Amino acid sequence: MGDKRHQLKPKQKQSREAESRNAQSCPDAQKSKLEGRSFLYVGGRDCQVAHLRQIASSHGAELIHHDGGLREAVSRIDNILPSVDCVFCPIDCISHDACLRVKTGCKKWGKAFVPLRNGSKSSLERAFLDLKASRNNAG
């Protein structure tokens, strides 16, 4: 087991070095794909909202948070959806009603719906990196 961990580290290091070289060679291409976009994050943990907004900001995006119905009315989601580009939902920290409302609203407004495995910061970071990569490949 210990040997496998040591084998992965050089590969991870090479991957990070390659990402760094790409970012240095074309910084505008790396950041511009999500620049100025707004995202809705429904559910999750209130204590992490500031961190999640910071992650979005590091990608040049704005993050709007809705608590999924704990204190805010679930119907407010319908008012927010038309103004965002994409919606994130951590499937472990959201009510069924809020998730259903988000899915239905995303279909109605033609918005991307991205379910997240959990409400962790790394899960959101991965989602942003995946979006950025897919936009870089498409454009």
pLDDT digits (tens, 9 = 90+) for 63-76: 999 998 888 888 89
CATH of residue 41: 3.40.50.720
Name the domain count of the chain. Answer: 2
pLDDT score recorded for residue 119:
93
Query: What pTM did the predictor assign?
Result: 0.75
Is there a single domain that holds both residue 72 and residue 84?
Answer: yes
3-state secondary structure the chain: CHHHHHHHHHHHHHHHHHHHHHHHHCHHHHHHCCCCCEEEEECCCHHHHHHHHHHHHHCCCEEEEECCCCCCCCCHHHHHHHHCCEEEEECCCCCHHHHHHHHHHHHHHCCEEEEECCCCHHHHHHHHHHHHHHHHHHC
pLDDT score recorded for residue 67:
93
Note the pLDDT tens digit of each residue in 38-91. Answer: 999 999 999 999 999 999 999 999 999 999 888 888 889 999 999 999 999 999
Is there a single domain that holds both residue 79 and residue 130?
Answer: yes
Is there a single domain that holds both residue 83 and residue 112?
Answer: yes
pLDDT score recorded for residue 32:
53
Is there a single domain that holds both residue 26 and residue 84?
Answer: no
pLDDT score recorded for residue 61:
95
State the average pLDDT over residues 31-44: 85
Note the pLDDT tens digit of each residue in 84-124. Answer: 999 999 999 888 889 999 999 999 999 999 999 999 999 99
Domain that holds residue 66: 34-138
pLDDT score recorded for residue 58:
95
